Structure 1
Amino acid sequence: MIRGTHSKKEVEDALAYAEASGWRVKSGGKGHAWGKMYCPYNDSECRCGEFCITSVWSTPKNPGNHARLLRRVVENCTTHRHKRAPQGTRQHADKQE
């Protein structure tokens, strides 16, 4: 199913970034939500689901800030960061925890 296009360019660019990172974007929502972004990983390590589903607002007060928030959600996904990090860096980070 083809999703709709968000009316704010900055938000649409952030949604394209999320899709390129494997996230699923679904338009259509209730209330003020334009739609939702869904994490591609169904991982129990992923912050207890806090960032696994994110609402995309239809008329954000500041589209640039909302777009940055959406990108930050994608970039801060725990599983995504582990898959993206070089193998030596990931092992070093795990030892520090």
Structure 2
Amino acid sequence: MKIHPNKHIQAAIEYALSKGWVWVPPGDSAHCFCKLRCGNPEGEHRDHQMSVWSTPKSAENHAKQIRRKVKHCP
């Protein structure tokens, strides 16, 4: 797993991982740092995923969005 250059976003990624989410490599998108997906073993939460951007307009707001998405996943 790569380390995000922004400390707020990296902390949000670590929060997601601590809640059982899975880090997924970015694929072909140039602006996507990675994707985070719910790691529910039953696969019930396939819709719960989020792209993490390399250079968002507001890094702190993007970190809040990541945390909010993780908190809304049961």
Q: Structure 2-normalised TM-score?
A: 0.87
Max radius of gyration: which structure? Answer: 1
CA distance in 2, matches of 1:27, 1:35: 5
Question: RMSD of the alignment, in Å?
Answer: 1.4
Q: Deviations over 1:36-66 (max 9, x none)?
A: 00101211xx4x72xx221000001100000
Q: Number of residues paired by the alignment?
A: 71
Separation of aligned partners in 1, 2:24 and 2:8: 17
Find out whether 1:24 has 2:22 as its counterpart.
yes
Does residue 39 in structure 1 map to residue 38 in structure 2? yes
Deviating runs (4+, > 3 A) in structure 1? none
Structure with the larger RCO, 1 or 2 (CA within 8 Å, 6+ apart): 2
Deviations 1:56-80 (A, max 9, x none): 0000110000000000000001xx2
Q: Which has the higher mean CA deviation after the structures are superposed, 3-12 or 20-29?
A: 20-29
> What TM-score, normalized to structure 1?
0.67
Higher helix share: 1
Kept in 2: contact 1:4–1:27 (CA 8 A): no
- 1:10 corresponds, among 8, 12, 28, to 8
Alignment gaps of 5+ in structure 2: none
Q: Which runs of 5+ in 1 are unaligned?
A: 81-97
